[in-house]
Structure 1
Amino acid sequence: MRTIRPAVEDDLPILQEIERVAGKPFADIGMMAVADDDPPSLQTLREFQQAGRAWVYPDDTGRPIGYLVLGIVDGNAHIDQVSVDPNHAGKRIGKRLIDHAVQWSKAQGLPAITLTTFVDVAWNGPYYERLGFRFLTAAEETAELREIRAAEAAHGLDLWPRAAMRAELATWRMD
């Protein structure tokens, strides 16, 4: 198994490329606004990288083929983005990246990991639910999660059902 490593400066444009190609499956199901959305800016990716919360899954040559950037939201780890090049889908790369984020989060003493996602997209909500996340009700959403959801809605992402999800780190099952 390849070793997940911290992202370095030279990886950041590649992470943007991964994000662009990861949008193609959304186009295939008619979610063009998502497919055509710009990737995170280099500055945004750099902030995660410099904070030590950006990791990549490399191919045999060391080039990233998947990545995860992690924020801290209301005292919990928060997956800001996890993306895998669709040419490498189905190999549990996303799960390995999430497991890595969970290990990091546990080492920081954080209680849970959250994310926001599309409810009905097979590789989003249902996938995360199988991994051990649960959907949060609106009443369970913390203040910062509500801010994230409002920003997503303002960006047009709520054209399709979206929700926040949470998994407790103490009960997370690693691969």
Structure 2
Amino acid sequence: MPIRPVTADELPLLQDIERAAGAPFRDLGMAAVADDEPPAPDVLERYRREGRAWVAVDDADAPVAYLVCEPVDGALHVEQVSVRPDAARRGVGRALLAYAADRAREEGLAGLTLTTFTQVPWNAPYYARLGFRVLEEAELTPGLRKIRAHERELGLDRWPRVCMRLPDGARPASPRP
């Protein structure tokens, strides 16, 4: 599936993808996550303007998934990666992560980082299968600590969360079942 920078007129579509991708959290008893509003258009526009927002598109060039990220303490931090449910389980998220890993390498950044839920099958277990590893508390950089503190303020720690890293130079592996 092709990946390209998001265009300004596609920002509302990213919000739609985010809402659709959040819906399955409801089945896990995480209605607050499912009901959480996607990033505001001005936030998404900032990522787009900085060249840090990419979409995976279908044959009609319509976005089916997106990833936004920013440098944090020498790594490229994945702020959000979301895949429309009807495009899930096809390697779209992995392809976006691989694209981001390539961009990190081109910029001389030390791999990818992200924060995620530990007990959601398509979160930490999935990222581990791709080659991300959980960072111990002592390994968290100041920027990652700040991100985790903000997540706690938002109430996301009602469910266990971790920071993970894909090592510098690595690309996400094909997930094993």
Normalised TM-score (structure 2):
0.95
Report what 1:25 is aligned to.
24
Letter in 2 for 1:40: P
Shift of 1:138: 1.0
Partner of 2:47, secondary structure, is helix
Shift of 1:70: 1.1
Q: Which runs of 5+ in 2 are unaligned?
A: none
Q: Deviations over 1:120-170 (max 9, x none)?
A: 110000000010100011111110101100100110100000010011122
Partner of 1:72, secondary structure, is strand
Report what 2:73 is aligned to.
74
* Equivalent-residue separation in structure 2 for 1:159 and 1:92 (angstroms): 29
Q: What is the percentage of aligned positions where both structures have the same residue?
A: 49
Report what 1:122 is aligned to.
121
* Equivalent-residue separation in structure 2 for 1:101 and 1:171 (angstroms): 11
Report what 1:57 is aligned to.
56
Letter in 2 for 1:124: N
* Equivalent-residue separation in structure 2 for 1:165 and 1:75 (angstroms): 14
Shift of 1:173: 4.8
Normalised TM-score (structure 1):
0.96
* Equivalent-residue separation in structure 2 for 1:84 and 1:19 (angstroms): 8
Letter in 2 for 1:150: A
* Equivalent-residue separation in structure 2 for 1:104 and 1:112 (angstroms): 9
Report what 1:143 is aligned to.
142
How many residue pairs match? The answer is 174
Query: Where do residues 1-175 of structure 1 align in structure 2 (5 Å cutoff)?
Result: 2-173=1-172
Partner of 1:77, secondary structure, is strand
Q: Which runs of 5+ in 1 are unaligned?
A: none
- Over the residues paired in the alignment, what is the CA RMSD in angstroms? 1.0
Q: Deviations over 1:1-42 (max 9, x none)?
A: x32010010110000000001111101111001000010010
Partner of 1:120, secondary structure, is coil
Shift of 1:174: 5.6
* Equivalent-residue separation in structure 2 for 1:171 and 1:14 (angstroms): 30
* Equivalent-residue separation in structure 2 for 1:69 and 1:171 (angstroms): 19
Letter in 1 for 2:134: F
